[in-house]
Amino acid sequence: MNDQKDTPKVGDDGDVLDKVISLTKRRGFIFQSSEIYGGLKSAYDYGPLGAELKRNIANEWWRSMVHQREDIVGIDASIMMHPAVWKASGHLATFSDPLVDCLNCKERFRADKAPRVAPGTPTKFRKGGTRDGQHLDGVVGSAGYVCPSCGASELSAERQFNLMFRTSIGPVDPLEVLMQELEGKALDRKTLREKFEAAVQSSAIYLRPETAQAMFVQFLNVQQTSGMKVPFGIAQIGKSFRNEITTEHFVFRTCEFEQMEMEFFVEPGTQKEWHAHWINERSSWWKRYMNDQSALRVEHTEKKDLAHYADAGADIQYRYPWGWDELEGIASRTNYDLNKHSEHSGAKLTYFDQNKPDPDSAKMGWRYTPFVVEPAAGLTRAALMFLLDAYYEERGVDADGAEKVRVVLRLHPRLAPVKIAILPLLKKDGLPEIARSIVTRFSAAGINARYDEQHSIGKRYARHDEIGTPYCLTIDHQSQSDQTVTIRDRDTTKQERISIDKALEIVQARLAQ
């Protein structure tokens, strides 16, 4: 088949998301968590190819954010932090979503994600939300939305639901202690609830809902030990956890996910330019690895929608099959976080610039709390985006003239889980030995090469097209006589004959492009 990059990505027989979900399961990218026990809702495991893809995305991010910049250093902080961190950051009080119960079908949902309907509009829905339930009539209330599941307007009031996962640390079971205290006492519901809350809170610890806070809390340690001068950044990749009310769209929104975040500390008054700088940098980074760059856009956040700590914000969005949605957030977080942690911890999270005059006193030497610009991307969300962007179906005809569809993942070679498949044409005649010696050469050079001898050569090409392997190297009988092999390009399917000695060099050069 020819290069058909301009043909539609997929045929008209279904949603690209369904096709990607099916491919990722079939080929070992992503599995349902605990599948043999019926699965854990909205939790996923990355299989052999998914783990490679995620690692490659993370490595590319780290390379561009840390290794290629003198002004950024990386850290790897613990997931559990002192509970005071979350009090200071405001997460304990305000990191919540508005939760609503449908009084008809009992579905729980996020008010801000529910279908909007003008207040006073008449509604029709079925009792209990079941297909054969009795027809009921209602009227949309002042909140201006209906249940996303059954369409009912009979809803509870909104209540704030904190998204942080709470657990307890230490060998003492707080509930056991509470039971001893309460033995024989008859308490009303409210008092019982307060006592219960106090007992749990005494040893409570939270799974971090973002990686960002460690960069603020370790600001001084990192700045002083690394001798960093403002402007500079601290970067981190790691797991975050949110008890999302609505998990959706496969790995797009899950309770456990990974983030790639960087806090860039700047002089007060320069945050606007840095915000623009990071929007440009990050947009170019994403586009570098994408096939369809028109599926990426930047949306600036309106003032009224900004988080309370931010003076500007923007989302880098991708055109997912369900519409434009967030891939990365770039916030100008002011000096809110460093100020709050200074206030709550007593540590002075400031920076002294001896070469700048203090704007108030005009004397040389300025101590200030840096402002922060934060590009915050989802790693697991990035994996989904790159899979969706890479999925192509190419229609063509086979040698007998029958219609044939080639499924190909056009992953950027640097993101592809397997860089090169080494394929002996036959499992005999010394061809496997030559193939294995080539695999060893690639592996020694740090390139993930896979030996594959299963099925016909056509099936092997198809398998590697589907998992995004950019190159296939085929060893045939001619290889024995003249030390050459064929190299096949995934995107063009073109093959050329090259010398075995040159194979590594050629692939290295293509990967470096």
Q: Which is nearer to ligand GAP, 259 or 332 (CB)?
A: 259
Distance CA 489, CA 464 (A): 11
CA 10 from centre of chain: 24
Q: Which is nearer to ligand GAP, 257 or 265 (CB)?
A: 257
Query: How is residue 63 written in tokens?
Result: 């390379």
Distance CA 360, CA 363 (A): 8
Angle made by CA atoms 412, 298, 210, in degrees to the nearest 5: 80
At residue 413, what is the residue type? P
Query: How is residue 291 written in tokens?
Result: 């096939």
Q: Are 56 and 360 in contact (CB under 8 A)?
A: no
Helices marked H in 321-476: 336-345, 379-390, 431-444, 457-466
Q: Which is nearer to ligand GAP, 383 or 485 (CB)?
A: 383
Distance CA 510, CA 513 (A): 5
What is the closest distance, in whole angstroms, from the C-beta atom of residue 251 to ligand GAP in the complex? 7
Q: Which is nearer to ligand GAP, 326 or 353 (CB)?
A: 326
What is the closest distance, in whole angstroms, from the C-beta atom of residue 173 to ligand GAP in the complex? 30
Distance CA 28, CA 424 (A): 23
Identify the burial level of 64 via C-beta atoms within 10 angstroms of its C-beta, where 0-12 means exposed, 13-18 middle and 19 or more buried: middle
What is the closest distance, in whole angstroms, from the C-beta atom of residue 477 to ligand GAP in the complex? 50
What is the closest distance, in whole angstroms, from the C-beta atom of residue 242 to ligand GAP in the complex? 5
What is the closest distance, in whole angstroms, from the C-beta atom of residue 261 to ligand GAP in the complex? 6
Q: Which is nearer to ligand GAP, 30 or 376 (CB)?
A: 376
Tell me the CA end-to-end span of the chain in Å, nearest whole number.
25
What is the closest distance, in whole angstroms, from the C-beta atom of residue 169 to ligand GAP in the complex? 23
What is the closest distance, in whole angstroms, from the C-beta atom of residue 458 to ligand GAP in the complex? 38
At residue 467, what is the residue type? I
Using only C-alpha atoms, what is the Rg of the chain? 28
Distance CA 473, CA 468 (A): 14
What is the closest distance, in whole angstroms, from the C-beta atom of residue 20 to ligand GAP in the complex? 16
Is the preceding omega at residue 321 within 30 degrees of 0, hence cis? no
What is the closest distance, in whole angstroms, from the C-beta atom of residue 87 to ligand GAP in the complex? 17
Q: Which is nearer to ligand GAP, 374 or 452 (CB)?
A: 374
Q: Which is nearer to ligand GAP, 210 or 465 (CB)?
A: 210
What is the closest distance, in whole angstroms, from the C-beta atom of residue 57 to ligand GAP in the complex? 12
Query: How is residue 263 written in tokens?
Result: 């806090």
Distance CA 312, CA 278 (A): 12
Q: Which is nearer to ligand GAP, 125 or 252 (CB)?
A: 252
What is the closest distance, in whole angstroms, from the C-beta atom of residue 382 to ligand GAP in the complex? 7
What is the closest distance, in whole angstroms, from the C-beta atom of residue 81 to ligand GAP in the complex? 14
Pairing of strands 232-241, 72-74: parallel
Q: Which is nearer to ligand GAP, 151 or 370 (CB)?
A: 370
At residue 396, what is the residue type? G
Residue from 419, 395, 397 nearest 513 by CA: 419
Q: Are 457 and 474 in contact (CB under 8 A)?
A: yes
Task: Please provide residue 247's backbone torsions phi and psi, each rounded to the nearest 5 degrees.
Answer: -95, 145
Identify the burial level of 161 via C-beta atoms within 10 angstroms of its C-beta, where 0-12 means exposed, 13-18 middle and 19 or more buried: middle
Angle made by CA atoms 150, 152, 157, in degrees to the nearest 5: 120
Q: Which is nearer to ligand GAP, 259 or 283 (CB)?
A: 259
DSSP structure class, residue 102: B
Which residue, judged by CB position, is nearest to ligand GAP in the bound state? 378
Helices 500-512 and 431-444, axial angle in degrees (round to 10): 40
Q: Which is nearer to ligand GAP, 325 or 491 (CB)?
A: 325
Q: Which residues bind ligand GAP (CB under 6 A)?
A: 210, 212, 242, 244, 253-254, 257, 259, 261, 326-329, 374, 376-378, 380-381
Query: How is residue 429 written in tokens?
Result: 């005649």
Query: How is residue 503 written in tokens?
Result: 């194979």
Q: Which is nearer to ligand GAP, 55 or 110 (CB)?
A: 110
Measured from the Cβ of residue 66, the count of other Cβ atoms closer than 10 Å reads 18
